């Protein structure tokens, strides 16, 4: 483990004795899960060595450790984005810390735009695969063989086992759950109508500005991943109105009820 990881892990372990193996990354507006947790310990990113403060509205920037129905859990409220100007090593550093802490299962959520015209704003989409449209990768640079291989396999970044569980629980809860491919767009500008047509043509069903770099680093470290995209809006050009971040946050709050129900059942089953 390199020194930065050691520093971060040592600080976290000095604050909480919990040793969770399950973690969740909450996207914009999806922050209700911690209300159900007990034995809470909150650690701000600014109190963890080598973490930086997120600059995006709706992203608190903290790790929450606690228990949910007896299961130890790490919840990450807020994340870094490539568009904030940080190197991808910094954007994904919390994921590397999760791996060093012993996380084995990671649920990654986001608020994003629906590209598939059969989907509706206000629904969720389980990520079955992704498209990296940014031209870069957080694993570029020296590789630590003790964490993962130099050339990691990418044939199943998103766990088929967890996708199947999600579909079963969604059916029981009577929640419409789409499945599809998520495209990572650098941002911070939303996509143009022409770009959305291109993204749809090459096979994406939703588009957003996060998730993929985190999934790549987690997969490289051997963590099992489930991706949940919360479709807060229809992508640019599908509907006549312009997009704003404020509308995304409002829509995410509405989705958060179904999201919370689904994640609750998933955590209990892991």
Kindly tell me if the per-residue pLDDT of 29 is higher than 90.
Answer: no
Q: Is 166 a catalytic residue?
A: no
pLDDT at 157 exceeding the cut of 90: yes
Distance CA 114, CA 182 (A): 9
pLDDT tens per residue across span 192-246: 999 999 999 999 999 999 999 999 999 999 999 999 999 988 877 676 667 676 7
Residue 265 has pLDDT above 70, yes or no: yes
- Determine the straight-line distance between the first and last CA of the chain, rounded to whole angstroms: 27
Q: What is the CATH number of domain 3-269?
A: 3.40.50.1580
Among 23, 170, 209, 218, which one carries the catalytic annotation?
209
**From 41, 72, 156, 245, the catalytic residue:** 245
Distance between CA atoms of 242 and 201, rounded to whole angstroms?
A: 22
Question: Active-site residue 84, yes or no?
Answer: yes
The pLDDT score that the predictor gives to residue 248 is: 67
pLDDT of residue 34: 83
Catalytic residue among 8, 23, 37, 59: 59
DSSP reduced 3-state for 8: helix
Most confident range (mean pLDDT) of 31-45, 96-110, 111-125 is 96-110
40-54, 166-180, 249-263: which range is least confident on average?
Answer: 249-263
pLDDT surpassing 90 at residue 266: yes
Catalytic one among 159, 166, 219, 233? 233
User: Does the annotation count 182 as an active-site position?
Assistant: no
> Residues 28, 110, 159, 256: which is the catalytic one?
28
Q: What pLDDT sits at residue 55?
A: 75
Catalytic hit among 109, 166, 210, 219: 210
> Is 1 a residue whose pLDDT tops 60?
no
Q: Is the pLDDT of residue 42 over 90?
A: yes
pLDDT at 39: 87
Q: Which residues contact 68 (CB under 8 A, 6 or more apart)?
A: 33, 36, 37, 38, 264, 267, 268
| Model pLDDT, residue 256 | 85
Instruction: Please give the full DSSP string across 129-153, using - where no structure is assigned.
Output: EEEE-SS--TT-S---TTTS-SS--
Annotated catalytic residue, options 111, 124, 183, 221 = 111
218 is catalytic: no
Percent of the chain at pLDDT exceeding 70 = 92
Mean pLDDT of the chain: 91
Q: Given this model, what pLDDT does residue 213 score?
A: 98
Q: How confident is the model at residue 116 (pLDDT cuts 50, 70, 90)?
A: very high
Phi, psi of 109 (to 5 degrees): -115, 160
Which residues have a Cβ under 8 Å from the Cβ of 201 and sit 6 or more positions away?
none
Model confidence pLDDT, tens digit, residues 66-96: 999 889 999 999 899 999 999 999 999 999 9
Indicate if 39 belongs to the active site.
Answer: no
The answer to whether residue 209 is catalytic is: yes
Two tokens at 84? 């904030």
Question: pLDDT of 125-152, one tens digit each?
Answer: 999 999 999 999 999 999 999 999 999 9
Domain boundaries, the chain: 3-269
41 token code pair: 């310990």
- In this predicted structure, what is the pLDDT of residue 222? 97
Cβ distance 52 to 90 under 8 Å? yes
Candidates 76, 81, 219, 229; catalytic one: 81
């Amino acid at each position: 483990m390199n020194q930065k990881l050691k520093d971060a892990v040592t600080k976290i372990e000095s604050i909480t004795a919990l040793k969770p193996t399950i973690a969740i990354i909450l996207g914009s507006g999806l922050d209700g899960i911690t209300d159900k947790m007990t034995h809470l310990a909150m650690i701000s990113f600014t109190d963890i060595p080598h973490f930086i403060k997120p600059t995006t509205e709706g992203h608190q920037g903290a790790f929450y450790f606690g228990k949910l129905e007896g299961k130890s859990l790490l919840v990450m409220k807020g994340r870094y984005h490539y568009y904030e100007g940080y190197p991808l090593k910094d954007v994904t550093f919390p994921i590397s810390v999760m791996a060093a802490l012993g996380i084995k299962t990671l649920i990654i959520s986001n608020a994003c735009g629906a590209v598939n015209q059969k989907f509706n704003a206000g629904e969720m989409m389980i990520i079955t695969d992704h498209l990296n449209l940014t031209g870069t990768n957080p694993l570029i640079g020296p590789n630590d063989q003790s964490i993962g291989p130099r050339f990691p396999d990418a044939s199943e970044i998103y766990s088929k086992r967890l996708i199947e569980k999600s579909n079963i629980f969604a059916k029981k809860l009577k929640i419409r759950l789409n499945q599809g491919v998520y495209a990572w767009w650098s941002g911070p500008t939303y996509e143009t109508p022409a770009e959305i047509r291109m993204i749809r043509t090459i096979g994406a069903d939703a588009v957003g500005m996060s998730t993929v770099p985190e999934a790549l680093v987690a997969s490289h470290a051997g963590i099992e991943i489930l991706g949940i995209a919360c479709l807060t809006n229809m992508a640019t050009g599908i509907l006549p109105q312009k997009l704003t971040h404020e509308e995304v946050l409002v829509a995410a709050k509405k989705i958060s009820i179904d999201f919370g129900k689904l994640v609750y059942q998933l955590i209990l089953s892991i």
